Amino acid sequence: MEENQNFTFSVYTENNVGILNRLSAIFLKRHINIESLTVSKSEIEHVHRFTFVVNITKTQAYKLVGQLEKQIEVIGAFYHTEDEIIYHETALFKISTEYLYDESIQDKLKFRRAHIIAITERYFVIEA
């Protein structure tokens, strides 16, 4: 039996109403759960990028990319395994300004390379 692993699909499409529905239906039809999904503009004008993360076998991934690519408004579809992609997570924390001098916050700023990116009278924002 082939083992499941995480695959990241990058799907480049026209920017039209309804494409998300068309693409997600392809996963639904095969009973595949979407672990994460991002839709954004791509580096190419008028082209949007869908990024799906799903946990499936390599054979499934191969077939799935064929079905995605087959959709009329899909310009290109690709899939990558975990070790082929660089993964970086960034979080923003909005904190009440009264904790600004709190020790634990200070520690995080020092040791986790977090930094304050905004500060107002009521709150400040840390990026970590």
Partner 1 sequence: METLKKDVKENNSSKTVKLTGAEAVIKCLLEEGSTLAFGYPGGAIMPIYDELYKYQNQFHHVLTRHEQGATHAAQGFARVTGEVGVVFATSGPGATNLVTGIADAQIDSTPLVCITGQVASHLLGSDAFQETDIIGISTPVTKWNYQITKAIEIPEVLAKAFYIAKSGRPGPVLIDITKDAQFGELDYSYKKCEKVRSYRAIPKLNTEKVKEAAVIINSAKKPFIVWGQGVIIGGAEQEFKDFIEKTDIPSASTILGLSALETNHPLNVGMVGMHGNYAPNVLTNQCDVLIAIGMRFDDRVTGNLATYAKQAKVIHFDIDPAEIDKNVKTDVAVLGDVKQSLVEIMQFVSKANHKEWMKEFQKLYDIEVSSVINEQLNPTKEGLTMGEVLGGINKETKGDAVIVSDVGQHQMFACRYADFIKTRSSVTSGGLGTMGFALPAAIGAKIGDPNREVIAIIGDGGYQMTCNELGTILQSKAAVKIVVLNNGYLGMVRQWQELFFDRRYASTEMVSPDFVKLAEAYDIEAQRVTNREDLASAIKTMVQSKESYFLEVVIEKEDNIFPMIPTGASVSDIRLS
- Interface ranges with partner 1 (CB under 8 A): 13-18, 21-22, 25-26, 28-29, 46, 62-63, 66-67, 69-70, 72-75
Give the list of residues 6+ apart from residue 19 with CB closer than 8 angstroms, or none: 13, 48, 50, 71, 73, 74
Contacts 24+ apart (CB under 8 A), 108-116: none
DSSP for 53-117 reads EEEE-HHHHHHHHHHHHHSTTEEEEEEEEGGGS------EEEEEGGGTT-HHHHHHHHHS--EEE
**Residue whose CB is less far from partner 1, 2 or 103:** 2
**Residue whose CB is less far from partner 1, 14 or 82:** 14
**Residue whose CB is less far from partner 1, 12 or 123:** 12
**Residue whose CB is less far from partner 1, 5 or 60:** 60
